[in-house]
Copies of this chain bind each other. A is one copy, B any other.
Amino acid sequence: MPKVTKEKILKSEVLFKGKDLNLHRLTVELASGKPFEADIAERPDEVIIVPQTSENKVILVEQFRRGVGETLLELPSGKIEKGESAATAARRELEEETGYRAGKLEELAKVFVSPSWTTIKRIFFSAKELTPISNPKPRDLDENIEVVEISFKEALDKAIYGEIQDAATVLGLLLTQRFFTS
């Protein structure tokens, strides 16, 4: 294996503590021996769910996104709460955002969102054997969501041709291609 040096952390200080976001300033020792400062964002890990119906459709949500000021079509997703497992978070977010319960949940992949400057991991799940919930839990107060059910083929086309713009949604759809028949 090539020899990439693991950097030693010389100092770590908290720059900012927010609701979901903490910023740290790390001082690391570079391979050259020189010190270097890097700002790292710490946020909760996230789950992304690919809900597949028995009719080969995928359930998406349309949502206003504050980071970019646009309404985007996405897979259901959300933050993992403190003490919660990824699978429990996936079931909870699926129920809250779409009103469906998954009979079968399978972990697909676990990736770092942007490992140069954030701690965040994204864990992808496939959700099958969906049944509507009679008494859905209320959504988070700040969520502004519409549920959209479309064929997997249509969703994948939207992902490939740039109509779906959310990175996690494009990745989730590409990862589950093999589960859907076209």
Q: How would residues 4 to 35 of chain A score, 1 for a CB under 8 Å from any chain B CB and 0 otherwise? A: 11110000000110111101001010111010
Residues of chain B within 8 A of A122, CB atoms compared: 167
Complex: A66 Cα to B41 Cα, angstroms: 11
Knowing A26-B66, A71-B6, A112-B165 touch, does A142 contact B39 (C-beta < 8 A)? Answer: no
Knowing A41-B21, A142-B30 touch, does A115 contact B65 (C-beta < 8 A)? Answer: yes
Complex: A31 Cα to B144 Cα, angstroms: 7
Instruction: Report A47 CB to chain B, min CB distance, Å.
Output: 13
Say yes or no: B112 contacts A68, CB within 8 Å. Answer: yes
- Smallest CB gap from A72: residue in B: B115
Say yes or no: A109 contacts B162, CB within 8 Å. Answer: yes
Say yes or no: B16 contacts A23, CB within 8 Å. Answer: yes
Say yes or no: B112 contacts A65, CB within 8 Å. Answer: yes
A146-168 residues at the B interface, CB under 8 angstroms: 146, 148, 160, 162, 165-168
Is residue A82 within 8 Å, beta carbon to beta carbon, of the partner chain? no
| Number of copies of this kind of chain in the complex | 2
Instruction: Report A123 CB to chain B, min CB distance, Å.
Output: 11
Instruction: Report A136 CB to chain B, min CB distance, Å.
Output: 17
A68-125 residues at the B interface, CB under 8 angstroms: 68-72, 109-120, 122
Residues of chain B within 8 A of A66, CB atoms compared: 7, 26, 28, 38, 40, 116-117
Say yes or no: B19 contacts A18, CB within 8 Å. Answer: no
What would be 12 A-B contacts, judged by CB atoms less than 8 Å apart? A2-B148, A4-B71, A15-B16, A21-B23, A21-B41, A32-B141, A40-B66, A67-B116, A67-B118, A109-B162, A122-B167, A174-B174
Task: Please give me the 7 A-B residue pairs with the lowest Cβ-Cβ distance, nearest first.
Answer: A2-B146, A65-B115, A111-B167, A174-B174, A68-B115, A31-B144, A67-B115
